[in-house]
Amino acid sequence: MSLQEPSQGGPASSSNSLDMNGRCICPSLSYSPASSPQSSPRMPRRPTVESHHVSITGLQDCVQLNQYTLKDEIGKGSYGVVKLAYNENDNTYYAMKVLSKKKLIRQAGFPRRPPPRGA
């Protein structure tokens, strides 16, 4: 028996249908054995921690930015770089995008600020 031939009472019964690849789509199940176009549930995000004071320390091989230790560069893009960042508070590694304000302004097409008058 193939998936195209529905059987009595099986997962591919008459109330179910097949997708374009011949996989069974079972709407009566709380889960679907086939990939679903809907996204899977995500873990809730932790609230963003705002800081009004920034502490930057230059060490021998890395930069300390508040609780993050910036390590190696792991990527590069049009507007800046991505660095490996270690959070000392929760002992977790993160990817931190470091944007260049100069590149952002240049890409957006903003003209340079004119010199002050009377100078």
pLDDT, tens only, 6-65: 445 444 445 566 666 666 666 555 555 555 556 667 888 778 777 776 677 766 667 888
pLDDT at 12: 46
Kindly state whether residue 103 falls inside one of the protein's structural domains: yes
Domain that holds residue 25: 9-34
> Residue positions in the annotated binding site?
97
Q: Name the nearest CA neighbour of 87 among 73, 69, 74.
A: 69
pLDDT digits (tens, 9 = 90+) for 55-88: 777 666 678 888 888 888 999 988 889 999 999 8
Side-chain half-sphere of 33: how many Cα atoms within 13 Å? Answer: 14
Kindly state whether residue 49 falls inside one of the protein's structural domains: no
pLDDT at 17: 65
pLDDT at 21: 63
Q: Name the nearest CA neighbour of 80 among 109, 62, 108, 103.
A: 103
> Residue positions in the annotated binding site for ATP?
97
27 and 66, same domain (yes or no): no
